[in-house]
């Protein structure tokens, strides 16, 4: 998983832009997840076949 993120260093910035566009307040990032954390969680979810339920 880290190799995927290392190969695409701009990915976390793009995710953060999407989160902000969706209404997330970037000044509250410390209380939530960073762009990289969102990507890591999504990769783990997909790799393991987890659901949101």
Of the candidates 52, 49, 36, 51, which has an alpha carbon nearest to the alpha carbon of residue 4? 36
Answer positive or negative: Cα dihedral of 3, 8, 9, 15: negative
Looking at residue 3, its pLDDT comes to 86
Q: How far is CA 21 from the centre of its chain?
A: 14
For the segment 2-51, what is each residue's pLDDT rounded down to a tens digit? 888 889 889 888 988 888 787 776 666 556 778 888 888 888 999 999 98
User: What is this structure's pTM?
Assistant: 0.68
Alpha helices, DSSP H only, in the chain? 2-7, 11-21, 35-48
């Amino acid at each position: 998983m880290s190799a995927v993120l290392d190969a695409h260093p701009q990915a976390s910035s793009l995710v953060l832009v999407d989160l902000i566009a969706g209404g997330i307040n970037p000044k509250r990032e410390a209380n939530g997840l960073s762009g990289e954390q969102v990507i890591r969680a999504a990769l783990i979810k997909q790799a393991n076949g987890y659901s949101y339920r």
